[in-house]
Amino acid sequence: MYESGILLVMNGKMRVAVRLAVWLTAGVLGLAQEKPAIVTLVPTPEWQMTSSRTTDSGGLKAWGGDPAIESEYGVTAFAARTYRFDDHAAEALVEQAQDPSAAYGLWTFYRGAGMTPVAGMPLTVAGEGKALLVRGAAFIRVARMDKGALPEADFRILLKTVGGPLPSPHALEQLPRALPSRGLVQGSEHYVLGPVAAAHVLPTFPADLFGFEQGAEVQAAQYITADGKLTLAAINYPTPQIAQGAFDSIASTLGGKAVNEPSAFDYRRQDTYVLVVMNAPSRAAADRFLEQFKVSKLISQDQNPGPSERSEVVQLVQLLLANGILIMGLLGVSFLGGIFVFAGKRLARKWFADSWLVEGRQGGLIVLNLR
C-alpha cells in the first residue's frame, strides 16, 4: 500500500514521542525507588560577648603582662571582655597600641614557645587554651575559662568572633619587613621599641646602646648556621647620619673581642641599619654570617646587590648635569628652528618673489582705511 510523505513524517514523529514517553516514565519510576537524601544541619557555635568593660594596666599581671612593656609600645587603652557558648566561657583583653607596628611588637614579645600559628589566620598564635592576635592597632589576648574539651573548630570560631575580620594584605604591608628566612628559627622574631623590652629579648647587649631616644627600631631573631646558633639584631635608624653615630658609639663601647671567643659580637653599618650579631660561637662565625646580608631599603640575604649607594653630593651633581644637558638640548633645537625659518624665507623670496605670500597684500604696505 502506498503511503504519502506526510504520513511517513507523522509516523516518525509518533515513534519519537513514544520513545520519549518511555524514557520519562522510567526516570520517574527510578526516582520514586530511590531513598530520599537526608541532610543533617549542624548548628554553628555562636559565641556571645556577655560583658565588656574598660580597665587599666593593673590587671596585666593576671595575663602575664608587664605595664612597663605596654608603656614602651604606646598602649593607651584596655578593654576586658567575656564570651560564652553553651557551657564554655572565654575572656579577652584588648589593648589599643599606638599603631599596627606597635601591636605587632607586643605580639612578638609575648608570643611563647608553646604557641604555634593558627592556619589560615595571619598574626594569630595559640596554645594550651590561649591565643594572641593582632588586628589593626589592637593587640588581643584570649584565654579559655573552662577546662572542658572544646573542638578546634569551635576555638577557631571563638578567635574569629573576638578578632573580627582577618588582616588584609594592605594591613600586613604596614608591618615591619620580615627578616631573611634562611636559617631563621621560627617564632624567635621580635620587634623592639624600648630598652625594657630590649633587656628581656637581648640581655647580652647593653640596652642603652640601641638609641631608642633617637628613633631606633630593632628587629631581632635567632638563626641556625653551619657554625652554630646565633642572634641577629637589625637596628634601623631614621637617617644614615644617626646610624653612623650609633655605630660609632657601639664600636667604641664594645670594642673588639678575640676571634674565637664565645658570645662574640660583630657589627657593621649599611645605609640606615646597624647589623649586630651576638651570642655567636666565634667572631669569625659572626663575620661569615654578616657577609650574607645586603641592605637597600630592605634587609636581603643571598641576593644580587642593587645599585651602589650614592651620596647626596653625587646625586646633586648628577641632577645638575642632567639639567645642563636638557638646557643645551633646548638651545640647540631653538637654534636649528631659527635657521630653518631664516632659510625658508630666503628661498621663498627667491622662488616666489612676486607672490603675495612674500610681499604680502598691497605690496607689503599696511593700508589703513580710516573713515
Give the per-residue SS3 of 291-322: CCEEEECEEEECCCCCCCCCCHHHHHHHHHHH
62: which 3 cell numbers? 593576671
The answer on pLDDT for 27 being more than 60 is no
CA dihedral 182→127→167→134, nearest 10 degrees, is -100
Q: How far apart are the first and last CA of the chain?
A: 113
- Which residue carries 630653518 as its cell? 340
Query: For 39, which DSSP code?
Result: P
The answer on pLDDT for 2 being more than 50 is no
d(CA 53, CA 125): 25
Q: In the β-sheet with 130-135, what is the strand arrangement from edge to edge?
A: 48-55, 77-85, 88-96, 138-144, 130-135, 124-127, 116-117
**For the segment 201-241, what is each residue's pLDDT rounded down to a tens digit?**
999 899 999 999 999 999 999 999 998 999 999 999 999 99
Three-state DSSP class for 9?
A: helix
pTM of the entire predicted model? 0.67
- Which residue carries 646610624 as its cell? 243
pLDDT for the residue numbered 314: 77
pLDDT for the residue numbered 359: 57
pLDDT for the residue numbered 157: 95
Choice among 130-139, 307-316, 346-355 with the minimum mean pLDDT: 307-316
**Average pLDDT value for the chain:** 81
The mean pLDDT value for 123-140 works out to: 95
* Phi, psi values for residue 227, rounded to 5°: -85, -15
As a residue count, the chain comes to: 371
162 or 317: which carries more pLDDT confidence? Answer: 162
Secondary structure percentages of the chain, helix, strand, coil, to 5: 40, 25, 35
46 or 69: which carries more pLDDT confidence? Answer: 69
Closest CA to 268 of 232, 310, 220, 219: 232
d(CA 247, CA 142): 40
Residue 206's Cβ-count burial label (10 Å; 0-12, 13-18, 19+) is: middle
CA dihedral 182→183→185→187, nearest 10 degrees, is 0
Most confident stretch, 27-31, 34-38, 176-180, 360-364: 176-180
| Max intra-chain CA distance, the chain | 122
**CA distances from residue 312 to 13, 309, 315, 322 in whole angstroms, order as listed:** 91, 10, 5, 15
95: which 3 cell numbers? 589593648
Choice among 74-83, 115-124, 238-247, 261-270 with the minimum mean pLDDT: 261-270
Confidence bin at 259 (pLDDT 50/70/90)? very low
Task: Please list the residues that pair with 224 across neighbouring strands.
Answer: 229
d(CA 369, CA 371): 6
The answer on pLDDT for 184 being more than 60 is yes
The answer on pLDDT for 265 being more than 50 is yes
**In this structure, are residues 130 and 55 in contact, taking their beta carbons and an 8 Å threshold?**
no
Element (H, E) at 229: strand 228-236
**For the segment 342-352, what is each residue's pLDDT rounded down to a tens digit?**
887 777 777 76
13: which 3 cell numbers? 514523529
- The β-bridge relationship of strands 293-296 and 298-301 is antiparallel
**In this structure, are residues 128 and 163 in contact, taking their beta carbons and an 8 Å threshold?**
no
72 or 25: which carries more pLDDT confidence? Answer: 72
